[in-house]
Amino acid sequence: MEELQAYNRRLLHNILPKDVAAHFLQRERRNDELYYQSCECVAVMFASISNFSEFYVELEGNNEGVECLRLLNEIIADFDEIISEDQFRQLEKIKTIGSTYMAASGLNDSTYDKAGRSHIRALADYAMRLMDQMKYINEHSFNNFKMKIGLNIGPVVAGVIGARKPQYDIWGNTVNVASRMDSTGVPERIQVTADLHQLLSSYNYTLEYRGMVTVKGKGEMMTYFLTATKGDGSQIHPKAQPVEETIIGSICH
């Protein structure tokens, strides 16, 4: 019985964030009980392989598409391995939707950095790492996958839906806009909102003005591209300095 309980605990920790899993392990839960948490300043990322649908074909030579899915699984596994690195401990993988990878940071007290906003910078760094990883995958698999990434920041509601197969997810306008930053983005670029541009610029990240973009349900939005390198070609290492409170307040409250 103890072995079964230990197995169940490990399983729960694999499908839910640590703090959420701990909540459910502490007591009995009714099937209709709702767990939710309001988070005031979360960074959200959607990263999609924009041309994967062109790559996926069901032919006898690729086992009716199984080999295509095998490669996608290897790509997602690489992303999972990167997010498990200590420097990205403030991040949480939310889910994959087809060939789109969704992650967020700052979802609980242990990962939310109100003073320095390090959780936001960590997600920006992770997005750049994914771009580099995709280039590496293309070089070694002789493919030409194109990834585009969308980032946004703001309040969200996090929660667990379902009883037999509980699913952790996040909701809110912040999530919707992050998804739109991905869908309206450009292959091999990281598109961010004006609010996120304002914050990252304060930490000496390099961003390029894209212009006004038509976003479904939002109208025209000013967006920027986060670039993975400085002018000298070196990797960005943002300075760990606090952002002015006036900037923070306008973004996350």
Residue boundaries of the structural domains of the chain: 33-229
The residue whose two tokens read 């990797």 is 235
Task: Encode 112-124: b = buried (16+ Cβ within 10 Å), e = exposed.
Answer: bbeeebbbbbbbb
Tell me what percent of the residues of the chain surpass a pLDDT of 70.
75
Rg of the chain on CA atoms, in Å: 19
User: Is 3.30.70.1230 the CATH classification of the domain at 33-229?
Assistant: yes
**Stretch among 49-53, 89-93, 230-234 having the lowest mean pLDDT:** 230-234
Distance (Å, whole) CA 253 – CA 248: 8
Query: Which pLDDT belongs to residue 246?
Result: 45
Q: Which two tokens stand for residue 51?
A: 């041309």
Task: Encode 36-71: b = buried (16+ Cβ within 10 Å), e = exposed.
Answer: eeebebbbbbbbbbbbbeeebeeeeeeeeeeebeeb
**Stretch among 59-68, 97-106, 123-132, 166-175 having the lowest mean pLDDT:** 59-68
User: Would the pLDDT of 82 be above 60?
Assistant: yes
Grade residue 103 by pLDDT with cuts at 50, 70 and 90.
very high
**Stretch among 51-55, 122-126, 138-142, 168-172 having the lowest mean pLDDT:** 51-55
Grade residue 5 by pLDDT with cuts at 50, 70 and 90.
low
Distance (Å, whole) CA 62 – CA 3: 41
Residue numbers annotated as active site: 180, 216
Residues 21-28: what's their mean pLDDT? 65
User: Would the pLDDT of 77 be above 60?
Assistant: yes
- Tell me the average pLDDT of the chain: 84
How many residues are present in the chain? 253
Which residue has better confidence, 70 or 226?
Answer: 226
- The answer to pTM > 0.95 is no
